[in-house]
Amino acid sequence: MKDWPHLLKAFDEGVATGLHRGLQIYISQHGQPLLEAALGEAEPGLPLSSEHRMLWLSSGKPLLVLIFARLWERGLVRIDEPICHWIEEFGTHGKETITFRHVLTHTGGFRVLDLGWETKSWQDVIELICRTSLEANWVVGVTAGYHTISSWFILAEALSRATGLSVRDLFDQELRYPLGLPELSIGLSEEWYIENQSSVPPMYARIKGELQVLDWHQPPRAICISPGSNTRGRARDLGAVYEMILKEGEAADGSRYLQPTTIAALTARHRVGLFDLTLQHIVDFGLGFIINSKAYGPETVPYSYGLWTSPRTFGHGGSQSSIGFCDPESGIVVTWATNGMPGEGWHQRRNRALQHAIGLDLFERFPQLNTGASI
């Protein structure tokens, strides 16, 4: 890590402050790895490795978006068709007009927070969301508010019904196998977990200034499917997804995963200049991707990609812990995940510090990468 001194310093400062124990990170340019590393510990006395299956939380949301895009290309689903075309029972209590576009831009208005998905059956979760009323004073397609979990359950259910596949089979057949990424999951299989549980590191929460271990690396949560919050994999696995997007839909083996026009549609700005009621900031969205929103406050925008990234940068962060993004101007892909959730305020400071450090190290090593943005 001697070539990444600013990154190492930012990581060490986070350990000293009690924000995390470990960090897994992957950085590439135009598909060529610049850094793959694991820093610190998975748990006391056990070093974190690049092979540990990190919990990506909402950083994994774009994976289901790509599956939607595959079905969209085939004409199985349409971006502006109501969700209730596929899930009839969803079209109640004011939710009748919510479309795939509204789900992907977080303008739908059904931000159910307490789903209890870790202990409920999939069908019970879907039924709970379907019974939910549209939020008061919400104008579908106009009011903006990030949906942490509920909308991705509904998106997955609609795609499952459109294909006749279970959600796990859908994920396998439309993402893991075509992209050659068997290590990615949206809920570990019980069989895999029994044989490989040592590869699943704990997540910690900062409580009263101390890191306390959560039980998220164990059943039932570890093996439950949650398409927008329970993704696990290695940093290079998520990096490979962004590298495919950077190559306009071409997979690592040269096969065509998505068409360039579809990639362009996903990563264009669709939701622009709207204040997000959940994130409490103006944040722009593509279709399921957060587009660089530093123009609305470089030091305040949540889950920032760093001052050094271009306006075209797109990606997604994971609650208090992780992020993945691609800057098409420089060809840089960055994915990193920590094992500490220190609270939103501490995480946003940590995120800005890590992104700033990455930018400093990149431009000191590769001055030609300068995107015209300031460090």
Cα 229 to Cα 64: distance, rounded to the nearest angstrom: 11
The domain locations on the chain are: 5-367
Strand, helix or coil for residue 197: helix
**C-alpha 268, offset from chain centre:** 17
Q: What is the mean pLDDT of each run of 10 residues along the chain (375 residues)?
A: 94 98 98 98 98 98 99 99 99 98 99 90 97 98 98 99 98 98 96 97 97 97 96 99 99 98 99 99 99 98 97 98 98 98 98 98 82 57
Superfamily of domain 5-367: DD-peptidase/beta-lactamase superfamily (3.40.710.10)
Distance CA 135, CA 115 (A): 16
* Bridge partners, 57 (sequence order): 231
In sequence order, the β-bridge partners of residue 82 are 99
DSSP 288-329: SSEE--GGG-TTTSTT---TTS-TT-EEEEETTTEEEEEETT
pLDDT at residue 212, as a whole number: 98
Q: What is the pLDDT of residue 374?
A: 59
> How far apart, in whole angstroms, are the C-alpha atoms of residue 238 and residue 185?
11
Looking at residue 372, what is its pLDDT?
A: 52
Cα distance between residue 127 and residue 132, in whole Å: 9
**Do 249 and 257 meet the contact criterion of CB atoms below 8 Å apart?**
yes
Put simply, whether the predicted model's pTM sits higher than 0.85 gets the answer yes
**Are the C-beta atoms of 308 and 371 separated by less than 8 Å?**
yes
For 8, what's the count of Cα atoms within 13 Å in the CB-facing half-sphere? Answer: 7
